[in-house]
Each structure stands twice: as structure tokens, then as C-alpha cells.
Structure 1
Amino acid sequence: MNLFEKICLSHNIDTDRDTLTVYPDQVLTHDGTATSVFLQLEAMGVKRVTPFTVVHVDHNTLQVGHRNPDDHVYLKGMAAKMGAVYSVPGNGICHQVHLENFITPGHILLGSDSHTATAGGLGCLGLGSGGLDIAMVLAGEPYHMIRPQIIGIYLEGRLPVWVTGKDVILHLLGLISVQGGVGSVLEFHGPGVRELSVSERATICNMATETGATSALFPSDERSLSFLQQFGRDEDYEQWSADKSAVYDRLIEIDLSALRPMVALPHSPDNVKPVEEAAGISVAQICIGSCTNSSFADLAIAARVVEGKNVHPDTALTISPGSRRTLAAITKSGDLGRLIGAGSRLLECSCGPCNGIGQAPASGTNTLRTHNRNFRGRCGTTDASSFLCSAETAAVSALTGTITDPREWGIPPDIESPEYIVDFPDLFLAPAAEPDSIAVVKGPNIKEIPRGTRPEKNFTASVGLKLGDDVTTDDILPGGATMLSLRSNVPASVPYLFQRVNQRFGEKLEQLGPQWIVVGGANYGQGSAREHAVMVPMYAGLAVVITKSFARIHRKNLINFGVVPLIFQDQGDYDLIEGGDVLQIERFPEQLRGGSVIVWNETKKRNFTALNRCDERETDIILNGGLLNKMRLKYETAEL
């Protein structure tokens, strides 16, 4: 039995079914998505949440203007009133903070963030999903997921000096691409596992998301116990691993000893090559941090590399510790002083630059980052080029001002991890003992969550946009400080729709009519779990998306808000549609139930067939105009 099967068995999940029914042990949400989660719970009339839930404030702590502070006040009140733990701003990035304080081997964590798979570094099954799925679970409903294939990643050997877990996952991305993990859980096993620290394992699981994977898992072992002891949590340790006879749907073998330092070139995490082949490219900015590489080990190695030297005068180096505990640890070890002394800039313990919240690079420049995504414009500057690498490569490159192979630095400095990292338990606010006494404050920017509409019997709409492969959620609705401040205000977000792929789409939107269609290529909606990339276009009239394939979380978000996701039966039909074509579907609800939908292209005077690959439950959600409508009917019936 593999590890995924063992965790499912311990949670009474029948893995023989096509759709798995999951009741997670924990839920994670953050300020980028939690406002809509709690607004959805309010709309359903839910008073208390279950299971154990932590609301992290980490995505937009920049607080330019009143909008984000208002969201944080609202979230603090709702957490206290509804029974969730509130992690205050400055505690750190949700995935790093959760790993240090709450992740337990063998548990299942559901999070409203695509990088929830980070939990797999400690042997916990982390599942990222959209906010409405989170709201349903907090209301006591199960989480439904398509049974994934399990890809076994067999690790052998030992990493050479200057090669890290970040290089392992970049190498894997180069092997299988940003689409290679779709519909799968990546399960790491083999003798090479014991050579990787928990921080390295967490880095690998975090970026496994970029392969499109549902999740990623490492076994828990003596390394896991040491990590938990470091954070005063050794009582949470349990040993979890696959059987030696475990069966996998596919097997990939990686010899760690053969790997080299890697870098991802613009503008995709799978556009990788060895650092030595990119050496010499000038970088105006280097950012060390994010939920991928912000642990004590990452920051300490960077500090020892730059100690006694100066950051190159043409390069800015920023440091974003992953948590308050990590910041305290590098302060105590002297590494913070080493970083500051070399000329680095210390930022808050938050997501920050990774999601375009500050530190946007100058126009037309290169930025080298330890982050997980380098999509065009994600850094906050549309014409900048983002490269991804390890903390080691970033630190060495900061001294030279160009991408530099860290092996040129010499013998790696010896980093001794602290036995215990100081705790700040009072900065996790427990739910109120008397919830009825809590008055929740809702600022003027916080608006109601829009609801979808049922598919029309005979549907006619034009193709508002035709897009290519690997369209990201950032392409649909960008991140960054401006958009994050509007996460609780869908109407105000509409002008930003598809701005990165068509700057004049806002003007075009007025001419599309009440409903419109998007046609896309393969892997449509890759990237963030943010449901706003569905809520906002749905509010603006998006009714149907027809593609070659969908990214997992975005597909679920479309269904949850009643937007119909269809797949071309013959992918060649994609080439025969143009933006502006008028498409018609007769007996639309009936055809959706049948699974095969005949679409008439009125402009081209031809038919083509699209497939509804939703199961019966998902189709029922669509026919109700989305999950909020369906659940409202359920709760209204229960009250009667």
C-alpha cells in the first residue's frame, strides 16, 4: 500500500471510487481568500466552523489604504465569533507557519491556497482548493475530489554540495512540465529521501503544485521527528511511510547525486536549465523568501554566503523570513546581522514580492527569486523577466550581480540548525469563549458574494476571448497589491479582467452582452487557487469555458460558481473557432446531463461536439447555478 492509500484508509476514504469523499483534519485559509470564505458562510447562515481552522494574515500586509486593514478586522472578528484561530499579521507565511506549528504526519489538510501541498514535507496530505470548497467543509460538508493517480518518485543517491531540494523540484518540472502532474499525487520514496531535510521536502512539495499535481507526499521519519522537536512539537510525531511493495500508477527515478544547481527562465517554472548555462545574465533584483524558500536553513545559508561582503552595487537583495519564529532564529544566530551588514533589505514575514505585493522590479530588468512562480507580470512589472532558483544560487548571485553557479563560491558554509526555535503562542488568537459577544465589523469595501445563474434551455453567446495554452489565473485576474485589496469587492475587480492578455478587454466587455464564452487551449487556469478568477468573470457574464483541458482547482471553481467547463471532443475544433464567433447550444441542461454537448457555430455555420466531464454531483451543482444556490436550497429545506 502506498502512503496516499494509507492516509486515505485511516480517514475511511474509499479509494476504489472515482470520486473521493474527504473530511479533513484541519483547514487553512488566508487573507487573500478568507474574506470570501466567511462571506459565503454568512450567506449560508453557518454559525460555527469545523474542523480545526486557522486564518492566516500573510498575503497583503502592506495595507496601503483602508481596504486590506478592513478585511483583516473583519477576519479577526469572524474567526473569534465562528471558532477559528487567527494568526495575526507578521506571524509569517501561512504554509511555513502551519508547517512549524500545526502540521501533523498522517493528517489531511485542506487549504484555500494552491501551495497547501507544502504540508507533504511532514507526511501530511495537503490539498489546495477554492474558497467555496473551504466554506462547504467549514459548514460540515465533505470535500470531494477526483481519485488521483499516484506517481511514485523514487529518489536515490545524495545531493552534491550546493544542490538543494529546490533544484530537485526544478529538475522534476523540467522532466514532466507544468502539465505533467495534473490529476496526480506525487509520492516521494526511496533511500534518497532520508538525505533531505524537512525544509527541503516542504520546498519540493510546495513546487509540486507547479506540475499541476493534486498534492505531494514524503514519508515521516526521524528527520520529521527532529523538525517537530525543533519547534517543541515532538508529541505530534507519528511514523508514516509506504510499504516496500507499494504500487504506483507511474514511476519516475531520480538520482540525486547526478543533479546540478538549476534555474527556471521566464516565464514558466518548467522552463529550466542548469545554472551554469544561464550564468552571466545580469540581475537588478534578487528576492529570497516566499512559502518555497524562507526557512531558517534558506536564510542562514544566504547569510553565511554574503557575510563580510557587499551585495553588488547594481543589484538589490531583499529578505522575507517565512515566519516570526524564523526571524527570531536568524536574529539569535547572528545571521540577520550578516544579511543586513552585506546590504540586504529586510522585509516583513509575509508573502510580499512573490505575489507582487511590493518590490516590483524596474521596467525591462531581470529579477532572480527563490519563489515558485515566474509567470509574466506576476512580480508586479509586466515587462520584467523573472528567474527562479535556490537560496544558495540567489545569495551567490547577489554578490556578482549576475546569475552565478554557486559551486564557484567554494566549499559551502556549515550551517548548524538550532535545537529549539522560540515560540510566540500569544500571537495565535483563540476563538472567543463567548462568541455572541463579538461584534463583527464589515468595512465599506466588503461586498456580498455574487451567485451564478442556471444554464438557459437554449443558450446563445459570443466568444469573448480565444486564448492559448497554460493560461494562468494571473492572466485572468492579476495578483498584486491593487487586486488583493479588492478581493472582497467583486464589482470593483471587473475592470482588471484579462488585462494581461488583452488590455482593451474592458472596452470589449460592454459589447459582449449579458453572457459570453471563453475558448482556451490546454491547462486553462493553472496557478493560484483564487476563486476570484472565476467569481469576477462570472459576475461580468462568463457562462461557458471550452478548452482542451483545465487545471484542477480552476475547474472546480468554475463548477462551484455555475460556469460550465467543457472540453473539445476533437481538439482540432479549437483551431476552427475565432474570437467573436456566435455559439448556440439547444437543450443545454439536457445535453449537460448526457455528457456530450453539440455546439452550433452560427458564424462559421458548423457543428462541433464538446464534452461535459463533470460527474452527476458536479453537473447538479452547475444546473443549480452554482454551489451557493444549491446549499441555500438545502439549508432552507432543513429550516422548514
Structure 2
Amino acid sequence: MVRLTDHGVVLAADGTFTAVKCAEQQSGGKRKTMAYGILKAHNHSDNMEQLQLKFDALVSPDNNYVNILQTARASGIKKFPVPYVLSNCHHTLCAVGGTINEDDHVFGLGNAKKYGGIFVPPYRAVLHQYMREMMAGGGKMILGSDSHSRYGALGTMGIGEGGGEVAKQLLGRTYDIAYPPVLAVKLTGSPRPGVGPQDVALALIAATFQNNFNKNKVLEFVGDGVYNLSMECRMGIDVMTTESAALSSVWCTDGKTEEFLAEHGRRDAYREMAPEAGAYYDGLIEIDLSSVECMIALPFHPSNAMPIREFKERMPEVIKEVEEAGNKIKGNHGEPFSIQSHMRDGEFFVDQALVSGCSGGLFENIVAMADILKGYGIPGSGLNLGINPASLPVMADLMEQGIAGELAVSGATLRPCICGPCFGVTDVPANNQVSIRHMTRNYPNREGSKPGQGQMACACLMDARSIAATVRNGGKLTAATELDVEYRTLHHHFDPKIYENQVFDNYNKGDDSVELTMGPNIADWPEMQPLTKHLLLKTAGSYHGSVTTDELVPSGEASSFRSNPEKISEYAMISRDPEYVGRAKAVRALEKSRREQADGSIQTGDAECNNLLAKLTVELGCSISDITLGSLMVSDKIGDGSSREQAASCQKVLGGFANLANEYATKRYRSNLINWGLLPLRTEEALDIPVGSYLLIRDVRDVVSSCKNPVMAEVLDPASGSVKAVLNCTLDALTEDEQKILLSGCLINYYRS
């Protein structure tokens, strides 16, 4: 299905690719890609190797826009410089915390009125669908504070980043990044009936995630196969490229693209886009669409994907692997995680089915489900099917064309236009149940499980078509290609009046006299300290394997406290290491005590720490005020998953000053660390740093300000103060602004000064 070429290639005039022959062919061909043209048009530096980008539009959902707005306000914002869409799609049904959700929405609307923003009220649209329908267009760039900010099918390079990067754009600053590698994704053929966009996406992710093939790279979709796909199919594939760890994506455009934009009242946003002959790419992914099978991504990552056919052939073996992985996550909390009972008579049965949001809730997906379910009913004695259309215009057209009624008769329920189940705040399955979902993620906590409390469920990703086929067969796992279905080709009609009547578009019409209403949960960021001369780190968390952003700060009910930095920090690592918060707070308390010693004495309340600090002041020839004490998180790989800045800011609020890893899963997580003043230390050495270990970085301000690499991190014996080992680390490349942010203690401190 998927073939990878891991070396430079050049696009020929006939659409074939050949190996690059010389440096001149590479440098000249680099300028012939679609990505180069878009990046050049948005670059504000005089160097295309070190980009300083400004975006055409910004977008944030309600699970993080309050923090971003608070950061921008604390940094002195006067107005939104570009269209900034505040979408209310993540937390509309998450009622934990009383008035919190609507308090945040009131605050968001107030900011849109004050600074000139665009406010999409609850239930009107999932943020990415709104951006497709109303904001994306040829040659544009959009930055979002949600990791699935992908609009490449419309010719827009979308990038999902942490809130700090959005705040920088609001303050007129740039998004600084080295010119990224660009990969060609050549599509050929056409999908078979029953194969949908999620199947293509999962095949791509399975082939590229574990080997880091796409990591922090731009994917450029080319080939005749592009033109054989509908716009919605392209969008459904495109939004899932985030799960391959790609930085961004862009597709060739055609008449279908122009038609989509024209139907949404934006024909002038169309731009014919294709690479030139001779375009150079750093690698090549080839996908034969006609060979793609119906796929299933098993827990606990979208990359754990295989054809449904293969899963059935290897069922006992694969289920055993899933259970082993689940019990490793669950630990000794409650009865062992088990889904063996779902195997019956050589078949696999599921308990719940959901299709939702930016990847699943598209018009064509839902029509195809109605075609598959035609004439069949879903009994109320077990399996349920829920559908969240991606926007109110999609919902309205499903009703207008009778599809909603057909699905209701079959027993499916259409829910509001929100990200609920995808974000883990609605439709949580029961313990040890299996849920099949057309949405973006199936992390171990994403469906609402709480392994630390003995609650564990199993979420599998599939395309809407195979989900409907499985529901039609009474919950027996079924690939849509196993059924003979007559699929309709219905045209989606977009009604612009829905948004004209209901979306508050106040761009360029801000009113500084507007007073903001701040609910009782909305809190300002706490004071964050800058680095002093030396940095002493105490390890509060040390892990093997990968630490995801859903573990760093869980989605679901914990995010109800997203607007209160101290409250949400209480949930950091709660599903994997419930003791982390207590250990980090203890280090924070020691540092606070150290700062409060006006007479320069060393009395932190911890005898071991006092002893070590006393020895270090002698060894380093400095006063206690020259040593910053902060907590450290250590793991082999950190940061796979969401762009939510709370994954880093919670660590900072708890007194964190650094991460140490062999690898950072994404560029956006590393950026989050920097924006919150945490050193992104990386090493090639094996990491065996137990909890409680102390690491010293001498002259850390000089290390950061001059970007000195390697960074020598000394592992200390707390009793004697002697050096037990020295880790050879790096901060990798830092821009001048990133150096200043780290020295200041966080982005807010830097911009405030």
C-alpha cells in the first residue's frame, strides 16, 4: 500500500521521480516545490534557511484560548493583528467544574469584542471545519493552537502549535524555524468502494510514525491520485497527517478545489497549485490508493494500524499484545485489563461506535454510513452509534437532504457539532469495552479511561464506512469492502446564512473600552522566576519509553480547569505517575524557601538539599542567590500528541525548569518547553536518572545566551556534592528570541520586559 524512499528525489515533467544527481539540482529544485513558494511569501527574514514566519490567520479552541489570551494580555496586546478565530467546540458538554465552561466562553467573546476577533459560538462548528469552510485558501498559512490544524487540501499550510506561538503572532512576533525538510507524497489510483479517507490516513501513519519518517517535515501531496479524490476525502486524509508527526502539509489544487471554495462564497481564495518539474524533495512516499484496504488502528496509538483482514487473521496474537500493553499502562490498579471476551466464534465484537469531528464528521462520510445502514436497525440492547457532524452547515444539509432522518430510523443518533468524543469529554465506554471511532486519536486516556483508578477501555480507529458495516453486522468487526453497497453521490450544499446569522465576526472592529468578564476559575499566570547563574535540578519524574501529552496533562474532565494554571497543574502525570505532582511541588517549595532567605542563609526545610546547596556555594564560589533550584522530568521520548501548551506550562507552574530526553516527539512540544522557560535538554546517552537525583548545570545563563553545545549536566551525590557522572547534552539550535525567553523564565516575562 505504501512505499518509502529515504533519500532526495527530483520530480520529472512526466510525474515520475528520480534520485538527485548533484547539489545544484537539489538547491535549485528546492525552490520549485509548493511549500517553498508559500514559506517564501510568509518569511520575514532575509534568509530562507532560517524562517521568520507570519501567518494569515490564527485559530484556537476553548480548551486553550483563555491561557493564550491571558498570555497576550500580560504581554501588552492592543488588538488582534490578523483574523483570530475563537472556536467553542472542545468543552461545550464537559460540565465538570460548574460554571467554568460558559465562563470561558463569555471571556472569549469579550476578548473578540475588545481586540477584534472572530467568535464561533458553541455547537456551530468544529474549529478545523470552520477554517476549511471560511478561512483557508490557496497559498495561505494558518497557525492553530490545536495540533490538527491542517488545511493543506485547500492549498493552505496549516501548523498546529502550542499557545505560546499563537501569542507571539498576536503580539506581532514571528514563528521562527529552520527551513523544514519537504517530502513528496505521490498518490496513484483510486480507492475501492468502501475504502475511505481514514483508511488511507492510517496506512500512511502506520508506515511513517514509528520510524520518524515524517517527523517535523512538510508533506506535499502530488500525483494523479490526488485528482481522483473528492475534496472531503482529501481533507479527511490531510487532517490525520498530524498523527504521523509531520509539521504541515499542502496538496495540489484543481477544479474540485475551486468548486469547493466557490460554493463557500470564496472563489477568490482559489489558487492553482502544483510543483514545477525539477522540484526537489528530501524523500518520497508512494501510496497506491487502489491497494489500500479497510484499516483498524488498535490501542494505544493511530500508528498501531493494520488491515482489518490482517487483524482477523492474527486476532488472538494481536489481542494478547493489546492486553499486555494495556496492563502495563494500568499497572496494579483493579482487575487486569481484558478484551478476550470480545472474541466469539472466531469473530471480534465491539460495544460502541462513534464518528466525529474534523476527520469523521464530514458530509460524504455520513452519507456513506446511511447507505450502508439502509434497511437495517440498531437495537437498543447494546451497541450504540453516535455521529457528531463537523459543522452546523453539514448538519443542516444532512437534514435537508433526508440523510439525518434515514440515520435516525436506523437507530443512529446525530449529536452537536463538537469535538466531544475525540477529546475524551463525551461518550466514554464502559470498563473493558471496545469502542470503534472515526476520529483522530486513540491514546490510552483519550476515550475517558482512568487507568490509575482501575478504569480502562479500548478505543480503535476505523473509517466511518467500516464502522457502519460493523454496526450493520450487529457489532461484528466488518470491513466495508466485505459488503455489497450501492453508494450515492450526493452533493453537499453549504448555506452561508448559518454563519452570517450566528458567528460574531469582529475582525478589525475592536473596542478597547470593553470590560472583560472573568469567571471565578479564570486565573492569571503565577509569577515565574528567571534563571540565575547556575541551575540545580532535582528529578521529579523519570520514565522509560514515551511520555505523551495526554499523560503530561490529560484531556477530558481535567481540562475543565484549563483556565486556572494552579488547578490544572494538579493533574500533571496523574494517569501514569500520581506522585509526580507532590514531588514537583516539594522542589518548588524548596526553591521558594531559598529565594526568601534575605540574609543569604541556606535554610530550605530539607536537610539533604541544604547540605548540597552549602557545598555547591563553596564549590562554585557563589552565593545561594546564584543557584536556581527546579524540578526535572526525564524520559526516553517526551511530547507525542496534542499541541496543548499545558503539557509544558503545568510543569513550569509546579516549579519545573527542564526536560531531559533522548528525543522530543514533535517540534511543537519542544517549542512549548522553551516558551514556558523549561530547558529542552537532549542527550544521545542512555538515561538512568532515578527520581530524586540532582543534576547541576554550571553557568547556565552563559550556556543559554551563547547556545553552548554540548551542555554538561553533572549528576551529583547529594551527600558529598561530588560528581557521580557527567551527561553530554545539547539544547540543539536556539533562536535569539528563544535564548532570551529561557533566560527570562518564560515568554510572558520576556515580552513584558
The normalised TM-score by structure 1 is 0.95
Correspondence for 1:69: 102
Q: Displacement of 1:422 after TM fit? A: 5.2
Q: Which residue of 54, 61, 64 corresponds with 1:23? A: 54
Q: Which residue of 351, 360, 364 corresponds with 1:284? A: 351
Q: Which residue of 647, 652, 658 corresponds with 1:538? A: 652
Correspondence for 1:624: 744
Distance (whole Å) between structure 2 residues aligned to residue 621 and residue 346 of structure 1: 46
Correspondence for 1:605: 724
Q: Displacement of 1:412 after TM fit? A: 4.1
Q: Which residue of 580, 584, 596 corresponds with 2:710? A: 596
Distance (whole Å) between structure 2 residues aligned to residue 448 and residue 24 of structure 1: 27
Correspondence for 2:75: 44
Deviations 1:457-513 (A, max 9, x none): 222222111123332111100010x22221110111122110111133344344444
Correspondence for 2:378: 311
What SS does structure 2 have at the residue aligned with 1:584?
A: strand
Q: Which residue of 431, 438, 447 corresponds with 2:514? A: 438
Q: Is the 8 A contact 1:81 1:436 kept in 2?
A: yes
Q: Is the 8 A contact 2:685 2:727 kept in 1?
A: no
* 2:240 corresponds to 1:125: no
User: Where does 1:389-538 land on structure 2 (aligned, <5 Å)?
Assistant: 389-400=462-473, 401-421=475-495, 423-424=497-498, 425-431=500-506, 433=509, 435-480=511-556, 482-512=557-587, 513-514=590-591, 515-522=630-637, 524-538=638-652
Deviations 1:405-441 (A, max 9, x none): 1112213422312354454112111228571442321
Correspondence for 1:154: 186
* 2:656 corresponds to 1:580: no
Q: Which residue of 88, 103, 124 corresponds with 1:57? A: 88
Q: Is the 8 A contact 1:310 1:343 kept in 2?
A: yes
Distance (whole Å) between structure 2 residues aligned to residue 451 and residue 396 of structure 1: 54
Distance (whole Å) between structure 2 residues aligned to residue 271 and residue 175 of structure 1: 10
% of aligned pairs identical?
28
Correspondence for 1:104: 137
Correspondence for 2:394: 326
* 2:237 corresponds to 1:180: no
Q: Displacement of 1:307 after TM fit? A: 2.3
What SS does structure 1 have at the residue aligned with 2:727?
A: strand
The structure that has the greater radius of gyration is 2
Q: Displacement of 1:63 after TM fit? A: 5.2
Q: Relative to structure 1, is the Cα distance of residues 394 and 614 closer, same or farther in structure 2, using a 3 angstrom cutoff?
A: same
Distance (whole Å) between structure 2 residues aligned to residue 60 and residue 165 of structure 1: 26
Segments of structure 2 that go 5 or more residues without pairing to the other structure are 1-31, 313-346, 451-455, 592-629, 718-722
User: Where does 1:69-88 land on structure 2 (aligned, <5 Å)?
Assistant: 69-88=102-121
Correspondence for 2:340: none
Correspondence for 1:296: 363
Q: Is the 8 A contact 2:709 2:731 kept in 1?
A: yes
Q: Displacement of 1:245 after TM fit? A: 2.1
* 2:687 corresponds to 1:567: no
Q: Displacement of 1:319 after TM fit? A: 0.7
Distance (whole Å) between structure 1 residues aligned to residue 505 and residue 118 of structure 2: 5
Q: Is the 8 A contact 1:161 1:412 kept in 2?
A: no
Correspondence for 2:42: 11
RMSD: 1.8
Deviations 1:574-626 (A, max 9, x none): 1x322222212222222333122111112481111111113242222211212
Q: Is the 8 A contact 2:121 2:503 kept in 1?
A: yes
* 2:406 corresponds to 1:338: yes
Distance (whole Å) between structure 2 residues aligned to residue 468 and residue 18 of structure 1: 35
What SS does structure 2 have at the residue aligned with 1:251?
A: strand
Distance (whole Å) between structure 2 residues aligned to residue 16 and residue 608 of structure 1: 34
What SS does structure 1 have at the residue aligned with 2:360?
A: coil
The normalised TM-score by structure 2 is 0.81
Q: Displacement of 1:15 after TM fit? A: 9.0
Q: Displacement of 1:571 after TM fit? A: 2.7
Distance (whole Å) between structure 2 residues aligned to residue 104 and residue 298 of structure 1: 23
Q: Which residue of 225, 228, 231 corresponds with 2:261? A: 228
Distance (whole Å) between structure 2 residues aligned to residue 13 and residue 6 of structure 1: 13
Q: Is the 8 A contact 1:307 1:341 kept in 2?
A: no
Q: Displacement of 1:217 after TM fit? A: 1.1
Q: Displacement of 1:70 after TM fit? A: 0.2
What SS does structure 2 have at the residue aligned with 1:467?
A: strand
Distance (whole Å) between structure 2 residues aligned to residue 301 and residue 281 of structure 1: 23
Distance (whole Å) between structure 2 residues aligned to residue 544 and residue 63 of structure 1: 32
Deviations 1:307-333 (A, max 9, x none): 221125421111101000000010011
Q: Displacement of 1:394 after TM fit? A: 1.1
Correspondence for 1:637: none
Correspondence for 2:24: none
Correspondence for 1:256: 289
Q: Is the 8 A contact 1:283 1:366 kept in 2?
A: yes
Distance (whole Å) between structure 1 residues aligned to residue 492 and residue 440 of structure 2: 26
Letter in 2 for 1:620: K
Correspondence for 1:557: 672
Distance (whole Å) between structure 2 residues aligned to residue 357 and residue 390 of structure 1: 21
Q: Is the 8 A contact 1:353 1:359 kept in 2?
A: yes
Distance (whole Å) between structure 1 residues aligned to residue 493 and residue 93 of structure 2: 33
Correspondence for 2:442: 374
Distance (whole Å) between structure 2 residues aligned to residue 320 and residue 262 of structure 1: 21
Correspondence for 2:174: 142
Q: Relative to structure 1, is the Cα distance of residues 23 and 508 closer, same or farther in structure 2, using a 3 angstrom cutoff?
A: closer
Distance (whole Å) between structure 1 residues aligned to residue 36 and residue 732 of structure 2: 25
Q: Relative to structure 1, is the Cα distance of residues 539 and 340 closer, same or farther in structure 2, using a 3 angstrom cutoff?
A: same
Correspondence for 2:315: none
Segments of structure 1 that go 5 or more residues without pairing to the other structure are 634-640
Letter in 1 for 2:524: E
